[in-house]
Structure 1
Amino acid sequence: MTSPIRSQDDALAWVSAHADSLNNGVPHADAAIPVLGAAGFFRIGVPEAVGGSGGTTADAIEAIARVAERSLTAAFVFWGQRTFIEYLLQSPNAALRERRLPALLAGELAGATGLSNAMKFLSGIENLSIAATPAGEGWRLDGHLPWVTNLRRPGFGVAAAVQPTDGQPPAIVAFFHDTPGITRSDDLELLALRGSNTAAIDIRGVESGPEQLIHADARSFIPTVRPSFLGLQCGMAIGLARASLAASRASGSAARSGLVPRIERIEADLADAVAELKAGVLDGRFAPQAAPLFRIRIRLAALVREAVDLELDATGGRAYLVATTGDFARRWLEAAFVPVVTPSLTQLHGELARQAALRAA
């Protein structure tokens, strides 16, 4: 950080200034979490009693959207951080929460949600990738996570689902960068979002005791946190769509080309989807019934694609020239990530089809 971050506006200005760097490389990758933490972004929607600034998960979704308007990479690590925080908030392990939450809220420790594998497991898409062999009061963990975001080298924690080898239910545990047996790979060679500290983790002979246990039963915990996991993730799409729509409106050719009705329709559809998302997260309807949340996620991804297509139409040939593309080229690549972030649109469509088949049977 070249200057102190004193406010959320300071942090957003920093994100805007370094959006291309965060998308294209790693020079500022380790700074994003401290910047957002210093501005209090990770405290939004967290109870004041545990160090947050209050508010709701809907407020946290909106905060991620504000960051995503400026950089999807920064919003991506924000999502990972805030989701890990949510796991600790929902965990019955108060000692783990008290020990780790202050550094996470301040942005001094990065938090990574390694539960993509677990989300797929619960939908029958794949098996859990970490085996937990009983050892003393805990387990010895062995396995591999091929894709985890926000593995900030100065310090990170990861939440992961493990499969006990003795027939006990799958559980959710936390491990940290300095845990013996944890090896972080080099950053994955992503097409974009390269400053997101995304890498693989190898887990060999890791000792995991009750003090690292987030929840003893993954099957009951995942449905509880899934609305926050996906709801916060939707903030990324919301912010990106808003950025492209704003760029389209700002283009001098939008009115001349007759694009204003398209802009207004997409804006209205986006506002409707956001309202439905926030209402469902707040009233708890997505916990017992995930399908409506899946459909909103799919809908938002479609709106992102429409918005960036519209920005291209509004900008015209200038969007294809390096000298005049502005932020369009970055947003185009960012938009390509929205359908594939776990759970991908293919996985969501597959789960909805599976549920429909079960109802029909």
Structure 2
Amino acid sequence: MQESLRGDLDHADKTGPDGLYSAIDDLVRDELRPLTVRIDREGVYPEAVLRGLGQAGAYRQHLPAVAGGAAAGLPGAIRAMARVSQECLSTGFAVWCQDTCAWYLQNAVNDEVREAWIEPLASGTTLGGTGMSNTMKAFAGIEAMRLKGRRVADGYIVNGSLPWVSNLGRGHVFGTQFSLDGELRSVMALVDCDVEGFSLRQAAHFTALEGTRTYACFFEDVFIPDSMVIDHDGAGFLRRSRAGIVLLQLGMGLGIIQSCIDLCREVEPLLGHVNQYLDDRPDLLREELDDASEAAMVLAEDPGEADDDYFCEILRLRLAVSELSLRAAQSAMLHTGARGYLDSAPAQRKLREAYFVAIVTPAIKHLRKELAERGQ
């Protein structure tokens, strides 16, 4: 890995499990990097890499239920994700999906679903996604809940559709919420992609993040048993887990910013004499990344249910990292010049990936709406 990868993003790695970050670096170098261009251009899904990351322990850092005394906490999960995202954001996003699905189970009130599924997700034996974009937008007053459920014996019958859910496939699971007919209540549940009545359809192709197995999800009288319910109080669950959901996304942004700084520095010997006239030079970006990384590690120390002031700090940092990602990616394109337009060039891929950091829920506009409504 590049020298910068051993800088601020892992300055506290010595507190993590022995060998974890070294193992991630090896996987990224030996297995992910040879696939990165194909992931971007052909939509290759890096399943072997994702399972390897699970075997290395990348997905259990933030899960006290299965991590034991070796956990580095949420800061460790963010660092691990940043190392992957620095090479390939499609894979980094899939890591976020996996981490977040397991985080739902960590915060489950139902012991049965947690005990059955959290270890397979933490180990990468089962791969999982998160279908909470619609839920988070609904709670923010941006759109209506797309999934509707009704209570039946021993569970719920659910109908509706979700347009885009990632890191899915046969044998995968994901967490989502559905509203209840005639009630002002939603339910948080884990959905098995193999359950009867559920189907996946590839409804779109994307200019970036194509290797993430993103599908439209359709529910046609899908039975969700009580054993798969994470929390019968969806609003209470979101309050309890929201800090971790948003904090984990910082790993994607921090990783892509670092990679853009690296690209700017790589061309300094050849183009530094003229690049010195550009804005957002690598040293400036480095200072801002240091500040964002430090803030992320502090906020991630205790991501449990928190008051609005703490959550507003998280939203502000998430917004700042989105904006810095866009600036860093534009800087990488301008610093590398025409060579950045090559179809295999990292700079043009980073530019497209940075826009994803800015639009994935909560998007920049969503974050600004939430902060404005909180008087921030």
TM-score when scaled to structure 1?
Answer: 0.90
Give the direction of change, closer, same or farther, for the CA distance of 1:40–1:351 in structure 2 (3 Å limit). same
Residue identity in the other structure for 2:153: G
Measure, in 2, the Cα distance between the counterparts of 1:227 and 1:124.
19
* Residues 190 and 228 in structure 2, CA contact (< 8 A), matched pair in contact too: yes
SS in 1 for 2:359: coil
Q: Structure 1: 5+ residue runs without aligned partners?
A: 1-5
Measure, in 1, the Cα distance between the counterparts of 2:68 and 2:298.
25
* Residues 134 and 166 in structure 1, CA contact (< 8 A), matched pair in contact too: no
* Residues 241 and 305 in structure 2, CA contact (< 8 A), matched pair in contact too: no
Aligned to 1:309: 330
SS in 2 for 1:117: helix
Measure, in 2, the Cα distance between the counterparts of 1:145 and 1:52.
38
Tell me how far 1:49 sits from its aligned partner. 4.4
Give the direction of change, closer, same or farther, for the CA distance of 1:142–1:261 in structure 2 (3 Å limit). closer
Question: Does the alignment pair 1:233 with 2:249?
Answer: yes
Aligned to 2:43: 26
Aligned to 1:3: none
Residue identity in the other structure for 2:145: L
Residue identity in the other structure for 1:277: A
Counterpart mapping for 1:99-110 below 5 A? 99-110=116-127
Question: Does the alignment pair 1:87 with 2:104?
Answer: yes
Tell me how far 1:39 sits from its aligned partner. 2.5
Residue identity in the other structure for 2:193: H
Deviation sequence 1:116-161 (CA, Å, 0-9, x none): 111112211122111111111321111111110101x242111111
Counterpart mapping for 1:181-260 below 5 A? 181-186=197-202, 188-251=204-267, 252-253=269-270, 255-257=272-274, 258=276
Measure, in 2, the Cα distance between the counterparts of 1:243 and 1:338.
14
Deviation sequence 1:153-204 (CA, Å, 0-9, x none): 2421111111111416211011101111110112631111111000110011
SS in 2 for 1:190: coil
* Residues 48 and 54 in structure 1, CA contact (< 8 A), matched pair in contact too: no
Measure, in 1, the Cα distance between the counterparts of 2:36 and 2:136.
30
Question: Does the alignment pair 1:335 with 2:354?
Answer: yes
1:295 paired residue among 301, 307, 316? 316
Measure, in 2, the Cα distance between the counterparts of 1:202 and 1:133.
16
Aligned to 1:144: 161
Aligned to 2:294: 275
Aligned to 1:348: 367
Give the direction of change, closer, same or farther, for the CA distance of 1:254–1:272 in structure 2 (3 Å limit). farther
* Residues 223 and 288 in structure 1, CA contact (< 8 A), matched pair in contact too: no
Tell me how far 1:113 sits from its aligned partner. 0.9
SS in 1 for 2:158: strand
Aligned to 1:133: 150
SS in 2 for 1:12: helix
Measure, in 1, the Cα distance between the counterparts of 2:249 and 2:355.
15
> In the comparison of the two structures, how many residue pairs are matched?
349
Aligned to 1:68: 85
Tell me how far 1:228 sits from its aligned partner. 1.2
Tell me how far 1:29 sits from its aligned partner. 3.9
Tell me how far 1:354 sits from its aligned partner. 2.3
* Residues 44 and 52 in structure 1, CA contact (< 8 A), matched pair in contact too: no
SS in 1 for 2:112: helix
Tell me how far 1:309 sits from its aligned partner. 1.9
Question: Does the alignment pair 1:169 with 2:188?
Answer: no
Q: What percent of counterpart residues are identical?
A: 27
Tell me how far 1:60 sits from its aligned partner. 0.3
RMSD over aligned CA atoms reads 2.2
Aligned to 2:16: none
Question: Does the alignment pair 1:42 with 2:63?
Answer: no
Tell me how far 1:313 sits from its aligned partner. 2.5
Give the direction of change, closer, same or farther, for the CA distance of 1:201–1:53 in structure 2 (3 Å limit). farther
Aligned to 2:6: none
Q: Structure 2: 5+ residue runs without aligned partners?
A: 1-21
Tell me how far 1:229 sits from its aligned partner. 0.9
Measure, in 1, the Cα distance between the counterparts of 2:354 and 2:222.
37
Measure, in 2, the Cα distance between the counterparts of 1:285 and 1:186.
35
Measure, in 1, the Cα distance between the counterparts of 2:280 and 2:182.
60
Aligned to 1:122: 139
* Residues 61 and 234 in structure 1, CA contact (< 8 A), matched pair in contact too: yes
Give the direction of change, closer, same or farther, for the CA distance of 1:313–1:27 in structure 2 (3 Å limit). closer
Tell me how far 1:62 sits from its aligned partner. 0.9
Question: Does the alignment pair 1:57 with 2:74?
Answer: yes
Measure, in 1, the Cα distance between the counterparts of 2:281 and 2:97.
33
* Residues 253 and 315 in structure 1, CA contact (< 8 A), matched pair in contact too: no
Tell me how far 1:82 sits from its aligned partner. 0.3
